[in-house]
Structure formats: C-alpha cells, structure tokens
Amino acid sequence: MGDGDEFDFYSSGPAEGYFVCGQCIDDNEIEKFIKSRADSQKCDFCDRESRTRAIAAPLDEVADFMFASIDREYERAVDALGWESAEGGYQGQHWDSNELLTDVIGVGFPNDDDGRLLDILVDCFGVEPWCERDPYGIREDEFLISSWDRFCKFIKHQRRYFFLQPSKKRSFTAREHLSPAKLLRYIGKTAERHELVRTLPEGTLIHRARQQKWGEVFSMPCDYGPPPVKYAVRSNRMSPAGIVMFYGSDEEDTAIAEIDDDPGLGIAVGTFRLTQEATVLDLTQLPKRVPFFKQEPETQEYSYDRAGISFLHSFVESVAAKVEPGEREHVDYVPTQVVTEWFRRIFRHDKARIDGIYYPSTQRPGGTSIVLFANRHSVMLTPDQIKKLCGSGPLDEWWLQNRHEKAWLELVNTRAVRSPRRSA
C-alpha cells in the first residue's frame, strides 16, 4: 500500500520481503487471513518451515489487512485532537502504534521474543499517535449500552407509563442517550436486521413445569398451563403481576430449574405441542460478536455492525441477569417487562404480531427459556373437559367453549418429577 501521506502516515514498505505464519500473531482473524494468503513454506520470524505446503503470507499484505480494520475505528491524533503545549500536548486519549496494537487492540506476538515482528509493524503504522475516531464523542457501542442503562433507570424510577410520549423537559440529550421509544425501535430494527425473528413449526414441543402442594391434584390440561388471572399475583421476568403468560422451555431440565426454588413442593411437568406455527423473537441465537480485524467480502457489501451486535449481547445479558427473590423483584424486572410488552403489542414482523420470546435461562446455564404470549384459554380442552370445568350451566359452558376455540397449545404428556412433602 502507498507511500505514507496518501494513507494517513501508513506504509507497508517496511514489511516488504518478509513472510509471517499464523502462529506468530495471536488473533484468529489475522491467522485466517495468513492461511488464505500463504505462499511461502518458511516463516521469517519463528523459523517454522514446511516441506509440503505454504504456511506464511507476505507481511506487507498482513499489514494492509490490519490497517483496513484499524482505519475504520482509529485515526491520527494530529487530525482529530486539539493540541496544547502548556497542557502536555494532545488534548485527549491517544496512543503510539505499539500501544495501539498491543494494549488497546490486544494483538499478541507469542513468538516475537526479540520484538522484530512488532517493530516492523510499528514502522508500517508510523510514529504519529493514534486516537479513536470522533474522539470527543461517545463510541457507538458505549452510546447504545448507556442508552439501555438510562432506559432501565428511567423505567424503574421516573416514568413507567406513557413513556413513549416525548417529555417537554428534554430528559435525553441528542447524543447522550436514545429516548426510551427510540431505543425500543432500535432493538426491534436490530433484531430484524440480524434475523432474530423465526418461526416455530406446528408440532413443536414445549415443556412447562409447575410446583405442586401436598394434596393438590393436576388432572386437566389447564392445570399445567398458565394460571388464572386471579392467581397471577407474582411479578415475573417478562410479565408483571396481573398479566398472564406461558413460561416454558424446549428442555425439560431447564423448565424444572426455572421454578425449583422450594424443595418442599412437588414438581410436575406438562409437555405441550403447538397446533399452529408461532413466530418468536429468539434472543438465544445472537450473531457472534464481530471481531476487530475482519476481512471484507470481495463480492458483496461489507456489513459492519460491531457496535449493534456488541449492544445486543450486552442487552441480552441484562435481560437474562439473575434477580434474587425478594422485595425488589417487582422493580428489577420492570425493564424486561416493558421490552416484552413492546414486542408483544407494538412490534410487527411481516406486518403481524409475534407470539413469544426465547431468552437464556437464568437458573440453568446454557439452557433456553421461552415465554409465549398465551393465557389459560390458549390451552386446548376437549368438550368433556369443558363440561367438567363448568359449574354454572349452559351459558358458562358456551362462554368457555367460545374462549377455547382459538386455543393452540395441546397437552400431550405429563410427568411427576417430585412428590410434595406432607405439611407439618
């Protein structure tokens, strides 16, 4: 690449004529690049040599690859930072090329005992110090994460209702935070962009675990489903007290772990089958974090969303964070309840509402939980079961039959996991 001035004081000239193998630079993406460009059987830095295949790539090409990524997020301090000699020079955080590579970006050089490889790369990147692009602004990933933190505090302690309406007093400065409404829209658009909305086919099985008291008998499908509204008195991760939803999991062990907080209570599991397709937001299948060094595809436009993906991971970690049972549950769950309500009522995928959200299990690491926007009347009942439930005559039976006409959760199996202890 160029002679320096044309490329912001960068030149690959010092690296010309050298070959480096993937074991000499500790970064997965750089190692992949080296393997893709290898055309020498010997590395000039660790003296590895192969008689059968190329193992080392031209160092100047590796430097060019590294520079393309660095140039996306960093620039020369001389072009971006103010200078005040009385205050010690550049006014803002900055680093020389050595510090940028090793301390800031974190590139390792495991075989570079004499420092020769690093010195050559430092010569390529020049003596002029580096700083972040837009050094006086907030980084995009920090801006988004800060917006979520602000959203949580705002929803918990300032305004829980009607927050979608802009405040006359500007609580959110333009580039300090996204407003709650804009943040929710951003989360929705990012979920769509990364294809986090997917369809569960008819026939999908979902397990729901329930605690069981001594003497309590589960005999009807609705006994394994969501509770009646009058018993929905507990604040849950995705739903406040009074709002009924269906909590379950693809995995029976996860469903059990999520509710097993009292060894004195029994546990029973009902397995439900979806009788129709369901559209869900899947927060368990996030795209991998975009590495700092990334080769741009040659045949299509490069999608560079490091900040958005980094935010998604931080957001989901917050959504799935463990909240200890106690007096703060009804406060600490509020942000995720609001997000769930927004996806339940406002968000549209292909102009239609979604039916639930997958999220990482709190109680079983690696497990997957799901909340379906379903209530007691979403559980299928036979005519005989409806008759059995009715105690007020034909009108009550007609009403219950009517409510269950659109039911889409069929109980197909039950299992007693643990018997309850007899009360003292």
The arithmetic mean of pLDDT across residues 36-65, rounded, is 96
Q: Are 118 and 202 in the same domain?
A: no
Q: Is residue 140 part of a domain?
A: no
Higher pLDDT, 296 or 281: 281
DSSP E strands: which ranges in 349-388? 356-360, 368-372
pLDDT greater than 80 at residue 283:
yes
pLDDT tens, residue by residue, 352-409: 999 999 999 989 999 999 999 999 999 999 988 888 888 656 767 777 888 888 999 9
**CA separation for the pair 150, 173 (Å, rounded):** 12
Q: Are 103 and 236 in the same domain?
A: no
pLDDT tens, residue by residue, 187-197: 999 999 999 99
Share of the chain above pLDDT 70, in %: 90
Q: Are 123 and 220 in the same domain?
A: no
Q: Are 249 and 355 in the same domain?
A: yes
pLDDT tens, residue by residue, 294-352: 876 443 333 457 788 888 998 999 888 877 766 676 788 899 999 999 999 999 999 99
Higher pLDDT, 86 or 243: 243
What's the per-residue H, E or C state across 300-320?
Answer: CCCCCCHHHHHHHHHHHHHHC
Q: Is residue 44 part of a domain?
A: yes
The arithmetic mean of pLDDT across residues 119-126, rounded, is 96
DSSP symbol at 364? S
Q: Are 79 and 206 in the same domain?
A: no
Angle at 352 between CA 351 and CA 358, to 5 degrees: 125
Cβ neighbours of residue 79 under 8 Å, at least 6 residues apart? Answer: 8
> Which 3 state secondary structure label does DSSP give 184?
helix
Helix or strand holding residue 75 (H, E): strand 74-76
Which of the listed residues 132, 149, 171 is the one where a domain comes to its end? 132
Torsion of CA 137, 288, 190, 248, to 10 degrees: -130
Q: Are 269 and 344 in the same domain?
A: yes
* Confidence at 164, pLDDT banded by 50, 70, 90: low
Q: Is residue 191 part of a domain?
A: no
**CA separation for the pair 239, 242 (Å, rounded):** 8
Q: Is residue 169 part of a domain?
A: no
pLDDT greater than 60 at residue 279:
yes
Q: Residue 191 CB: number of other CB atoms within 10 A?
A: 21
Share of the chain above pLDDT 90, in %: 63
* Confidence at 18, pLDDT banded by 50, 70, 90: very high
HSE toward the beta carbon, residue 148, CA cutoff 13 A: 20
Give me the residues paired with residue 372 across strands.
246, 356
> What per-residue confidence (pLDDT) applies to 134?
85
pLDDT greater than 70 at residue 172:
no
**Averaged pLDDT of the chain:** 88
Q: Are 225 and 118 in the same domain?
A: no
Q: Are 235 and 310 in the same domain?
A: yes
Q: Are 237 and 119 in the same domain?
A: no
Which of the listed residues 116, 132, 148 is the one where a domain comes to its end? 132
* Confidence at 112, pLDDT banded by 50, 70, 90: very high
Give the pTM: 0.80
Helix H segments across 74-166? Answer: 77-80, 97-99, 116-125, 140-157
**CA separation for the pair 146, 140 (Å, rounded):** 10
Q: Is residue 174 part of a domain?
A: no
Q: Are 126 and 218 in the same domain?
A: no
> Which 3 state secondary structure label does DSSP give 417?
strand
Higher pLDDT, 279 or 168: 279
Which of the listed residues 109, 132, 155 is the one where a domain comes to its end? 132
> Which 3 state secondary structure label does DSSP give 345?
helix
Of 245, 247, 268, 193, which is closest to residue 358 (Cα–Cα)?
A: 247
**CA separation for the pair 320, 283 (Å, rounded):** 10
Q: Is residue 184 part of a domain?
A: no
Give the structural domain span for 75.
5-132
Q: Are 206 and 94 in the same domain?
A: no
Q: How many domains does the chain have?
A: 2
**Phi and psi for 244 in degrees, rounded to 5?**
-90, 130
**CA separation for the pair 30, 101 (Å, rounded):** 13
**Phi and psi for 211 in degrees, rounded to 5?**
-80, 150
> What per-residue confidence (pLDDT) applies to 304?
55
> What per-residue confidence (pLDDT) applies to 391?
65
Q: Are 128 and 233 in the same domain?
A: no
